[in-house]
Amino acid sequence: MSNAVTPTRNGGQILIQQLRQHGARRVFLVPGESYLPCIDALNEHRDAIEPIVCRQESGAGYMAEAYGKLTNEPGICFVTRGPGATNASIAVHTAYQDSTPMILFIGQVGNDFIEREAFQEIDYRRMFGPMAKWVAQIDDTARIPEFIARAYSVATSGRPGPVVLALPEDTLWGEACVADVEPRQRLHSYPSQQQLRELQQHLERAEKPFLLLGGSGWTEQAQMDIAAFAERYALPVGVAWRRLECFNQHHENFVGHVGSGMHQALREQLKSCDLIITLGTRLGEPTTEGYSWIESPVPSQTLVHIYPDPEELGHVYRPDLAINADVVGFSASLGELAPEITPAWKQATATARRAYLDTLIPLEAPGRLSLDKVTRTVDRLLNGKGCITVGAGNYALYAHRYIQFGGLGSSLAPTVGAMGYGLPAAISSKLEHPQRPAICFAGDGCFQMNLQELGVALQYRLGIVILVFNNGMWGTIRAHQENDFPGREIALTFTNPKFDSLIKAYGGHGEIVEDDASFEAAFNRALAFTEQEHLPALIELRYDADGIAPGERLSAIRATALESQKYSNDTGEL
């Protein structure tokens, strides 16, 4: 702790100064009277901290979470008590399952009113306990620097994640003469020499290895180190579900996106592997397709699991070699590992690469507008630049399949499957990287969950492009409904506004595209508008709703389900 003489300050001033000490450059907030001293203290840091005034707390939280993904530093979000906190909770859950560093500050009733169910009072320890790494309430103004320093440490160490701090009004209005706490140096965890030797031995014995990357905390150097390792060993490389930014997909060793929606050749490759090396990923349900291609608790493949949290190692899968290390520390330790001869599987890796490239060829789609071709056009025009964001829904499968993501910052996608994420994430990306394109893929339902954040794009003049996939229904649920209750569609359709008119109310540019021939020119116009005017553009994609996912049709799902029901009835099976 610094010994510098400090003046008497109120709690808000102490807290905002401490955020500056720890490198916060931007805070996302929906203002509330419960933390007014913090808002006022931002006046003293206009040169260092940019406040982003959001329209609803879920949008603010998503923006902070996306900031954490983009920077590996905690995204900072301020919300007011009660309703503000409950609105922001979806972003905390996202940060928890996505292993994203984030700190949510919540205004709280004063300690003189606590435990009386005062206006908007909630026990945040009980509310956020299961979905945050640490939840606390700062009851002493003089201890604010201590709590902030600990929050940064907890949010970024081991498996990164969210921290929630409640701020009673008397703590913020109270005064104290207390020194600031300097930030600690980021620590990385490394494998031992013995573990590296064991990894090398596993590689020497393998015939069909696979390297699976995921998780958070990646840096450009770590990605270069892991790419060099993959090249030396000619390893096929995949990325975990919605961790599309963890490896440059233009690299010759990249063979696909692992998890829900992956192509069949990759699925069969994973099942037949004799060695799976997983770095940074928990091997969660979507990545493993319901724990199917790799079985729990004892996989048929030899499993090397590298993860920064020792409690995760052995939690779901029993690894043959468990290494407690983060992606930066582990990747930096691989420089001395190299095969003595050309790996026998080199040709198999090349074959897997060709199978992946084949998946980039657009599949057939019904109607005049092919979402497959639309997404390939986006990929070609962006040419590896910018960031693609998605929320949740079958529409996201088009980006997952057809975009070749270029590494860090190229994708923002919630592994928790949270709807309404894409627009706030695109805004956060554009704030962080103003010169890069930010493209939001959004279903018509997903977009409307947070479309009010267009006001942020207007206010801060952010030139993002939004592609709204308009099929007038909750498409993912409709696909499940047709599979489980074929021909009994109900309660899944909705009437949409004119999205092209809506964006114009926010100062933006809007178009409707209904056929393949019109899209490329419309997308170029949208990009040009965002670059020139620094305001949002939106393209509404109207397409045949029967095309529910790449290569899949609702009518086929229904027909298959009806045939299955007929077979069950004919045979008497339950």
* Degrees to nearest 5, angle at CA 131 with 130 and 137: 85
Asked whether residue 19 is assigned to any structural domain, the reply reads: yes
pLDDT tens-digit profile of 258-273?
Answer: 998 899 999 999 999 9
Do residue 414 and residue 543 come from a single domain?
A: yes
Q: What is the pLDDT of residue 1?
A: 44
Residue 214 pLDDT exceeds 90? yes
Tokens 């892991």 found at: 226
Q: CB under 8 Å, gap of 24 or more: what pairs does 146-149 form?
A: 146/181, 148/15, 148/18, 148/19, 148/22, 148/181, 149/18, 149/22, 149/181, 149/183, 149/184
Do residue 215 and residue 297 come from a single domain?
A: yes
Do residue 334 and residue 439 come from a single domain?
A: no
Q: How many C-beta neighbours within 10 Å does residue 10 have?
A: 18
Residue 120 pLDDT exceeds 70? no
Do residue 241 and residue 121 come from a single domain?
A: no
Residue 180 pLDDT exceeds 50? yes
Mean pLDDT over 193-207 rounds to 97
> Of 370, 364, 359, nearest to 469 (Cα)?
370
Confidence band of 121 (pLDDT split at 50, 70, 90): low
Confidence band of 4 (pLDDT split at 50, 70, 90): low
Do residue 124 and residue 20 come from a single domain?
A: yes
Residue 323 pLDDT exceeds 80? yes
* CB contact at 8 A, 42 and 49: yes
Q: What is the pLDDT of residue 116?
A: 67
CA distances from 106 to 10, 14, 52, 82, 468 (A): 17, 16, 16, 9, 33
SS3 225: helix
Do residue 159 and residue 233 come from a single domain?
A: no
Do residue 543 and residue 418 come from a single domain?
A: yes
Confidence band of 5 (pLDDT split at 50, 70, 90): low
Do residue 168 and residue 237 come from a single domain?
A: no
Q: Which two tokens stand for residue 298?
A: 């004892």
Residue 361 pLDDT exceeds 80? yes
Residue 414 pLDDT exceeds 60? yes
Do residue 412 and residue 521 come from a single domain?
A: yes
Domain that holds residue 304: 193-358
Give me the CATH number covering residue 149.
Answer: 3.40.50.970
Task: Give the pTM.
Answer: 0.95
Asked whether residue 339 is assigned to any structural domain, the reply reads: yes
Residue 573 pLDDT exceeds 80? no
Query: What share of the chain in percent tops pLDDT 70?
Result: 96
Lowest mean pLDDT among 381-395, 446-460, 552-566: 552-566
pLDDT tens-digit profile of 17-37?
Answer: 999 999 999 999 999 999 999
What's the number of domains the chain is made of? 3
Do residue 396 and residue 494 come from a single domain?
A: yes
Query: What share of the chain in percent tops pLDDT 90?
Result: 91
Residue 574 pLDDT exceeds 90? no
